[in-house]
Amino acid sequence: MRYLNRMLKLKYVLDISDSASRARQRMAFAGLSFLIVFFLAPGGAITGNGARMAFMVVVGLYFIFALVQAWLISNRERHWEKIELPSYCIDLPLIGWGLVVSADYLAPLSPLIAVVALIRGIRYGPCMLACHIGLGILIVLGLGAFVPYWQANTELVYANLFLLLVLPIQFYGVSVKIQASSKSLRQENLTDPLTRSLNRKALEAAVWRTLNAKEPFVLSFLDLDNFKLVNDSLGHAMGDKLLKRISSKLSVRLRSEDKVYRLAGDEFVVLSLGTIRPDMAENLGQRIKAAIAEAIDYTCPNLPVSASVGVLQVTTFEETSLEKLLARADELMYEAKKTGKDQVLVATL
């Protein structure tokens, strides 16, 4: 069941760096397949065969989609997932289709089934490796059972089955190590080293994904009032301890849908997903302020330290970016400071 849930949530597994690589691989496969069939097929072999003609059209469109996706990713545009997820799911079936309708010309590309399955499995772990290898074996068995060319060239069927069965055994250990290492590096890359909360890079990814899904959310920007007094009076070690306690208190006191991010210094952001009613935003800001007050009372109760919070409800997704959202939430936070500090201001975008 755990593996099934992971497959159903595939869009959360795919990340932008891997998608950029897959876009380039698709362009190479589509371009090479098109050129091989176009230049090697005799006259009338394409236009006289409806299935082969359809494959050529689809491969041409596939190349264009991969090109568009590569451009979207390189420019950090939203909506790349709308192309990536369906493309990811049809990569192997498309290769199999080409090996059915143009087997005479594309048979040398058949090891791509094993290569694609192996690359993806190594990257995403044993479960994904088994799923891709299983799909590859079904495709090869289908070719050998129903396609005349492959029935007449059973040695190619056996060779591909050999690759699909032997390579995973050889690289299973590598897949486990790469998955563990990738998970560890990704966690370190998205974690603030002092407070162990999420960092700005993680916030960028979360906001980008949420804007792309057009799901309303709340972004709360908070800054400590008179934090310099802690460093000056009690030392920087105590200031660091306060920041760590604030991060811990926020994680404990808020909902599981509320994620805490440290931007820099004493600036934090809380990203709240799920259903947020207008009356909940003010309550959210007060709970954030109360959690910070607990950390302050425990660490430096005799200093006039507090928190100013700007709570921004986001319901507009077009022409919106993390920079714009942070700038607006930052403005709210400074307005709260100007009204006397230790305040919460709420606005809707």
Alpha carbons 85 and 152: distance in angstroms, whole number: 35
219 with 181, same domain: the answer is no
Note the pLDDT of residue 73.
Answer: 73
pLDDT at residue 11 greater than cutoff 50: no
Percent of the chain with pLDDT over 90: 5
Across 55-59, 78-82, 271-275, 332-336, the highest mean pLDDT is recorded for 55-59
Note the pLDDT of residue 312.
Answer: 80
Section 222-251 average pLDDT: 81
322 in a domain, yes or no? Answer: yes
61 with 102, same domain: the answer is yes
Domain that holds residue 133: 2-189
End residue of a domain, out of 189, 210, 229: 189
pLDDT at residue 107 greater than cutoff 80: yes
pLDDT digits (tens, 9 = 90+) for 165-222: 887 777 766 666 666 665 655 566 677 777 777 888 777 777 777 777 677 888 888 8
What pTM was estimated for this model as a whole?
0.53
233 in a domain, yes or no? Answer: yes
Alpha carbons 158 and 164: distance in angstroms, whole number: 10
151 with 223, same domain: the answer is no
29 with 174, same domain: the answer is yes
Note the pLDDT of residue 4.
Answer: 40
**Which CATH number belongs to the domain containing residue 318 in this structure?**
3.30.70.270
183 with 262, same domain: the answer is no
211 with 140, same domain: the answer is no
114 with 221, same domain: the answer is no
Reported confidence tier of residue 3, pLDDT bands at 50, 70, 90: very low
Section 290-319 average pLDDT: 78
- Ranges of beta strands (E only) in the chain are 217-225, 258-264, 267-272, 306-314, 344-348
Note the pLDDT of residue 142.
Answer: 92
194 in a domain, yes or no? Answer: no
- Domain tally, the chain: 2
End residue of a domain, out of 167, 189, 211: 189
DSSP letters of 72-110? HHHTT-TTHHHHHHHHHHHHHHHHHHHHHHTHHHHGGGT
pLDDT at residue 34 greater than cutoff 80: yes
270 with 313, same domain: the answer is yes
195 in a domain, yes or no? Answer: no
End residue of a domain, out of 189, 223, 244: 189
Residue 21: count of CB within 10 angstroms of its CB: 13
206 with 303, same domain: the answer is yes
pLDDT digits (tens, 9 = 90+) for 88-106: 778 888 888 988 998 888 8
142 with 40, same domain: the answer is yes
Section 230-242 average pLDDT: 81
300 in a domain, yes or no? Answer: yes
Reported confidence tier of residue 9, pLDDT bands at 50, 70, 90: very low
Strand bridging mode 258-264 / 217-225: unpaired
pLDDT at residue 12 greater than cutoff 60: no
